Amino acid sequence: MLKNKNILLGVCGSIAAYKSALLVRALIKAGANVKVILTADACNFITPLTLATLSKNPVYTQYFEAETGVWSNHVELGLWADYMIIAPASANTIGKMANGLCDNLLTAVYLSAKCPVFFAPAMDLDMWKHESTQDNISKLKSFGNLMIAPNKGELASGLFGEGRMAEPDEIVTFLNEEIRKKLPLLGKTVMVTAGPTYEAIDPVRFIGNHSSGKMGFALAHQMANLGAKVTLITGPTTEKASDELQRIDVVSAKDMLDACLKYYNHTDITIMSAAVADYTPTNVAAQKIKKKENSLSIDLKKTTDILATLGEKKTKNQILVGFALETTDEENYAKQKLQKKNLDLIVLNSLNDKGAGFKTETNKITIFNKAFEKKIFETKLKTEVAKDICNEILKLLELNKNL
């Protein structure tokens, strides 16, 4: 959930500030980009150098650095963040946040932030129980801020009770769960096909194509990022899938058909981006074919059209997305395929477009819906193209929900 997310960590003056080093490490390990803001009192408990080293980013402590003349723009920091965490959040800072006071960089950034804000209180038992603290916490919650509740345990004063800041792994878990709750595809099952198929001629040779699988893998990862449970069925490829995906490796068109039929009935959204062979050898030689004659003829037969097969089985609650890679009369062929195979969307690639097609890091697509309405996209990295395709699917889901 935190991969590639920008997280702004605010650290206040508390003995629990030592945990911020562990928290930064945990966030980095989860794949996040982390920047840290320290209050002046926090610098008494942990050094900016420690957190700068762990986060691999400069640590911010004040508006203006007199020695360097560098101004820390609180608005830019607030806009950069996907999520802001104040951990530890002292009683003093909680009071300032609740009442709109901004006499330091951290509270100024808080007031400027457009992203969700989490705070993990850390203070002594009596401070935690005080009515003013509880009123300030209630006020922060009413603003939409999310509290990561403190634990019970031995406190710095020697007292035992509530006030210990949550452990770094608990904070990361809390963040993951809160992010997941708001994902638009939570509870949805998705099947994505990717890569080429290899049709055997003999034990050594095969008929294949130039598909790398990059587009399908990008789509599978983006669907998982949106909360879906994703099954990725892929032909031979060197692409790597993250652990959150259920990866099914296949070789031939028949293998891919069997895998698709196994999962399709339990799938809400299916994206067929694989480049499946249209023909396969009628007979596969048991031994390697020796080079004897000047020419060799191989009898081919049609493979089963997987997309059409799934289109026939599709229910009204399922979404089926196909791809069309064309070189001539592209739009007409794409529309025919959309209608003939009972698709909800079709993604058109033209090999005539620079930066589109196989083995590239980029792609250029046009998407048609059932009404033949088209949307043209610029050439982009395939990871960004995947986001565009998924956004169109989300719009379709919302439309279907309102019908």
Q: Which of 92, 209, 369, 391 is catalytic?
A: 209
1 in any annotated domain = no
User: pLDDT digit string (tens) for 317-327?
Assistant: 999 999 998 77
| For residue 367, pLDDT beyond 70 | yes
User: Are residue 203 and residue 350 in the same domain, yes or no?
Assistant: yes
23 in any annotated domain = yes
User: Are residue 325 and residue 244 in the same domain, yes or no?
Assistant: yes
User: Are residue 153 and residue 268 in the same domain, yes or no?
Assistant: no
User: Are residue 322 and residue 202 in the same domain, yes or no?
Assistant: yes
Hey, is 155 helix, strand or coil? coil
pLDDT over 90 percentage in the chain = 79
User: Are residue 198 and residue 333 in the same domain, yes or no?
Assistant: yes
106 in any annotated domain = yes
User: Are residue 162 and residue 280 in the same domain, yes or no?
Assistant: no
Contact residues for 134 (Cβ-Cβ < 8 A; gap 6+): none
The residue count of the chain comes to 403
pLDDT value, residue 357: 63
Last residue of a domain, one of 153, 181, 209: 181
Last residue of a domain, one of 156, 181, 206: 181
User: Are residue 201 and residue 158 in the same domain, yes or no?
Assistant: no
142 in any annotated domain = yes
Average pLDDT of the chain, as a whole number: 92
Q: How confident is the model at residue 54 (pLDDT cuts 50, 70, 90)?
A: very high
User: Are residue 150 and residue 204 in the same domain, yes or no?
Assistant: no
User: pLDDT digit string (tens) for 101-136?
Assistant: 999 999 999 999 999 999 999 999 899 999 999 999
Place of tokens 């006071």: 101
pLDDT over 70 percentage in the chain = 96
User: Are residue 62 and residue 32 in the same domain, yes or no?
Assistant: yes
150 in any annotated domain = yes
User: pLDDT digit string (tens) for 393-402?
Assistant: 999 998 777 6
372 in any annotated domain = yes
User: Are residue 389 and residue 247 in the same domain, yes or no?
Assistant: yes
291 in any annotated domain = no
Total domains present in the chain: 2
Range of the domain at 279: 189-286+298-402
Contact residues for 45 (Cβ-Cβ < 8 A; gap 6+): 13, 14, 15, 17, 18
Q: Walk across the sheet containing 269-272 and list its strands.
A: 246-249, 229-234, 189-194, 269-272, 319-326, 345-350, 365-369, 374-376
The CATH number of residue 238's host domain is 3.40.50.10300
| For residue 70, pLDDT beyond 70 | no
User: Are residue 147 and residue 255 in the same domain, yes or no?
Assistant: no
209 part of the active site: yes
User: Are residue 203 and residue 253 in the same domain, yes or no?
Assistant: yes
Last residue of a domain, one of 149, 181, 213: 181
Q: Which residue did the predictor score with more confidence, 160 or 202?
A: 202
Q: Do the beta carbons of residue 175 and residue 118 sit within 8 Å?
A: yes
User: pLDDT digit string (tens) for 215-233?
Assistant: 999 999 999 999 999 999 9
The CATH number of residue 30's host domain is 3.40.50.1950
292 in any annotated domain = no
